[in-house]
Structures are given as C-alpha cells and as structure tokens.
Amino acid sequence: MELYFLGTNAGVPTLQRNVTSIGLRMLDERRALWLFDCGEGTQHQILSSPLKLSKLEKIFITHLHGDHVFGLPGLLSSRAYQGGTTPLTLYGPPGTERMVSTAMELSQSRINYELTIVEHTGGKIFEDDSFIVESELLEHRIDSYGYRITEKDRPGSLDSARLAEYGLKPGPLFGRLKRGETITLEDGTLVRPEDVLGTPKRGKIITILGDTRPCDHVRTLAQDADVLVHEATFMHDLADTAHEYYHSTAQEAAEAARASNVGQLILTHFSSRYKDEEQLRPLLEEAQELFPNTLLAIEHQLIPLASWKEYNPVAD
C-alpha cells in the first residue's frame, strides 16, 4: 500500500498546493485505488500522477465542505474518458447523494459505469475478505468523519521443508493451502494450512481523518495504527484560532499520534499562510518534538506504507 497526496492545502488552493485529496494505492493487495476526499482540481492533479482512474474502486468523503468535495462532479463525469468503466462506490455523510445527483442532473452529465452512493453516520461501512473500513464522527463545524482502514491478516509463507515432508511439489495444491483450504493426499493424509504455513502476517491499519478539533474519536480511529494522516492546519501558537475554526495544530496532531501508539504520523491540510515547504518546516519540527516519526505530506510524493514494527524497530 502507498499513499499519494493530490492536495494538502486547507480552505483554498494556492500556487504551491491544491486542496484536499489523498490516494491510497493498493496494487499488490487488490489492484485498486481508493480516494479520500476530492477537492477542486483533483482530476487535474491525477493527470500529473501515477494514479489511474481506471483503477479507482472507492471514494471516501470525510465531510461536505467545498475544499473536500468540489472536485467530485468533474471527476465522476470524466472518469470514463480515462478508462474508468468499472463499478465505483462513493461513501460519505448524509447529503452526499443529494449534492452529487443535483450537480449531475443540472449539468446534464452522464456516466456509463455503475455508481453506488453509500451515506453513513459512522460505524463499519465496508468489509470484504481483505479489508474492513470503519468510521467515526469527529469534531468540526459540520459533520466530519475519519476512516480506519484495516487490512485483514494474511496467511504466512509456505514452509518448504514441511511441504517436502508431505511430498508436495509446487502447483495448484499450494494455492489451495494458501487460501486456507485443507487438502487430501492420495494416501488419505489430510494436510491442513496450519501444518505448512508460517505465522500469519499482520495486516496494516491506516487512519485518515477529516477536519477536526482534538476529540476522543481521533484516538478510537487511530489506536495502534501503522499510519495516521492528521490535519495540522496551524502551528500551536495559533491554537486559539485552530479551536475557533474547529481545526488542529501540528502539536495536537503529534499528541494524538503519541497517545494512540501509532507507527507514523503524516501531517496535511495546511493553512495557506504557510506558503512553501520552508514555511511548513516549523510545523514539522513542532510535531517531531513530541512524535519523531512524523512526515509532512508533500504533493505528488508516493509514500510506501510500512508496518508499526518497521517504524519502531527497537520496540517490542
């Protein structure tokens, strides 16, 4: 899994940064792209990225402020022209369907793929054999949600020595064992997956938050996550301003990461008063004082996602 930031600004775009959109690329896991928020200009940002709308499977909207959703009508309308003809599911808070359907109806836009819109108020909103997505309400001026993406544990590697003991050679039976099936040999011997598989591989947990003040549900969503993406609209010298506008500071994001025992913190959603990376550096330093494993989200930068233990190699 890899994160790709298509927009990192709060409120309005600038010449340096676009408004919020984050891609979660899962080519190895499901050959798919998931998108979190879709601010104005997102489809244009995608054109300059390695992301492909033909792979887009799901969009998760945190809240309905314009800097998080004004790119939706354009992206949905033009997706098919970029090879996106497979079904697409859009998740968002109440009002998402009305906003999208009104824009599409009044603009007489037509799409030639299956679009499903799922409105939610938190809880488990998606589960299949590989992933669970849960959501909780945060604290913002309008209903804003965070998402916790849990990759289910994967089977361990096949033990070649144990396979040899059973006289098994590479072939279809290997795949059945990896899928968790018990097989029967010609002599009637049963071989169970646990007989030949190593320790299951822990799936990753990614938490991506919408706009929020510090609140209890941040920790609910972020607890023991491998990666936490948290807004850091202001430095802490503007904590009163952040609180007034229902946002967080870089220090508050770091406090949440430390309290939630996450592996890595990525800061995003920066005020336009911070013009470039040099002016953003004090936010990074402020967070790193409390939580050293912190990165600034940089647009058009692909970030491979490691496990908690890889971020904390000396921890138990």
- The DSSP symbol for 291 reads -
68 in a labelled binding site: yes
What single string gives the DSSP state of each residue in 76-133? Answer: HHHGGGGT--S-EEEEESTTHHHHHHHHHHHTT---SS-EEEEE-SSEEEEE-SSEEE
Cβ pair 22, 9 in contact under 8 A:
no
How far is the C-alpha of 249 from the C-alpha of 10, rounded, in Å? 13
269 in a labelled binding site: yes
Structure tokens at 32: 């798919």
Which of 37, 67, 143, 226 does the annotation list as catalytic?
A: 67
3-state secondary structure 190-201: EECHHHHECCCE
211 in a labelled binding site: yes
* Strand, coil or helix: 135: strand
Q: Helix 277-290 vs helix 250-260: angle between axes, to the nearest 10 degrees?
A: 40
63 in a labelled binding site: yes
230 in a labelled binding site: no
224 in a labelled binding site: no
236 in a labelled binding site: no
Backbone angles phi, psi at 298, to 5 degrees: -115, 130
Is 67 assigned a catalytic role? yes
- Return binding residues: 63, 65, 67-68, 140, 211, 269
Catalytically annotated residues:
67
- Return binding residues for Zn(2+): 63, 65, 67-68, 140, 211, 269
